[in-house]
Amino acid sequence: MSRRRGLRRLLVLGLALALIGGGVYTAVAFIQRSETLVAEKCTATVGSLKAELATDQAANAALISAVAVRRGLPPRAASVALATAMQESKLRNIGHGDQAGPDSRGLFQQRPSQGWGTAEQVMDPYHSTGAFYDALVKIPGYESLEITAAAQRVQRSAYPQAYAEHEDMGRAFASALTGQAAEALDCTLKSPEGPGDAQAVLTELTAAFGDVPASADGSTIVLEASGSQAWAVGQWAVANAKSLAVTDVAVDGHSWHRTARNGWQASDVQPGQVTVTVATGSP
């Protein structure tokens, strides 16, 4: 009799473990499938303007906008630069030209033969962006020109009206990434594939914005910034979240959480600081 009870208990225990194991497997499979279905993208929403970019395009847009902020240029300069780069290279740092410009390279398809720098320099996003702004600021009244007109004055394209197609994108992303529009940039991303490196984030951030009061402690970077500067830095971090394994960003009473996928939400973050957190451990 006792032997039967023992067998019965073993059967019950085995069944329970099987159910638990099956439940865990189902949960893991569901999570993995949910991750697979995530369509990664970045969206800038400013008033009635709404534009989307792929994550690599958004990271390049953030770099271009950060250089404008660092140089003290108005958001209009970033709008012109973004519309130009979108038309010229789809906001990707490409290493080839076309029949019209076989030696064109980089984000702005600049030609070494036309004095934009060496082939290596025009492939450096910071050099090419700086060279574009150098030319733009020499145009009298460029801030009041139509974006496509200002872009054409710099690029001298055979298709001068082509830049107009990207004006709304340029305005939306420039407003968000220069910090003029708070809570304006959101990126929908899968979970990080591995741990991030807070020091690497700090290095990239310094390259983009120049020296900023910041420190890295473990998986978190803390920056002293407020107003539009804080939002420029915070939304730069969101735009670079995929490549830098950023999981959380907090700016002026608002937080962005990568896995929540619900944009910016109110939080108890103190003003005057921006915090950026990267993934830890294995995914």
**pLDDT > 90: what percent of the chain?**
77
Tokens linked to 55: 């994550």
DSSP assignments along 30-42, one per residue: HHHHHHHH---EE
Determine the pLDDT at residue 282.
Answer: 59
| Residues ≥6 apart with Cβ < 8 Å to 63 | 125, 126, 129, 208
CA distances from 218 to 97, 222, 279 (A): 43, 11, 11
pLDDT in tens, 179-198: 999 999 999 999 999 999 99
Tell me what the mean pLDDT of segment 46-53 comes to. Answer: 98
DSSP for residue 235: H
Cα separation, 262 vs 63, whole angstroms? 24
| C-alpha atoms less than 13 angstroms from C-alpha of 267 in its C-beta half-sphere | 18
| Residues ≥6 apart with Cβ < 8 Å to 135 | 154
Determine the pLDDT at residue 28.
Answer: 41
Determine the pLDDT at residue 24.
Answer: 46
pTM of the model: 0.86
> The sheet that has 254-257: what strands, in order across it?
214-217, 220-224, 273-278, 246-251, 254-257, 264-266
Tell me what the mean pLDDT of segment 248-254 comes to. Answer: 96
pLDDT in tens, 81-98: 999 999 999 999 998 877
A 10 A CB-CB count for 157 gives 18
Confidence of residue 268 (pLDDT cuts 50, 70, 90): confident
Backbone angles phi, psi at 185, to 5 degrees: -115, 130
Say how many Å lie between the first and final Cα of the chain, rounded.
Answer: 50
